[in-house]
Amino acid sequence: MQKTPIQIAAVIFLVVGLAHLARLVFHFPVMIGGWVPPFWLNGVVGLLALALSFWLFKALRQ
């Protein structure tokens, strides 16, 4: 099994998760097609992305 695609996915999920949590902490304004997503949504998505990243990094060690 090649580990490179899993490593890339893990890093992408890590960056996305940290970006979502950064918006939650620093209150960056975001608008998607005229809709402003609530901050709690960034917390949920950020934690989910970080959990997926952790899971992928853990899978790489096995």
| Structural domain boundaries in the chain | 4-61
What average pLDDT does the segment 30-42 reach? Answer: 95
**Whether 41 contacts 11, CB under 8 Å:** no
pLDDT > 70: percent of the chain: 98
Token digits for 23? 């918006």
Give pTM, 2 decimals: 0.88
pLDDT for residue 19 is more than 90: yes
The CA-based diameter of the chain, rounded to the nearest angstrom, is 44
Contacts 24+ apart (CB under 8 A), 22-30: none
Q: Which amino acid is at 51?
A: A
**51 confidence band (pLDDT: 50, 70, 90):** very high
Evaluate whether 21 touches 46 at the Cβ level (below 8 Å).
Answer: yes
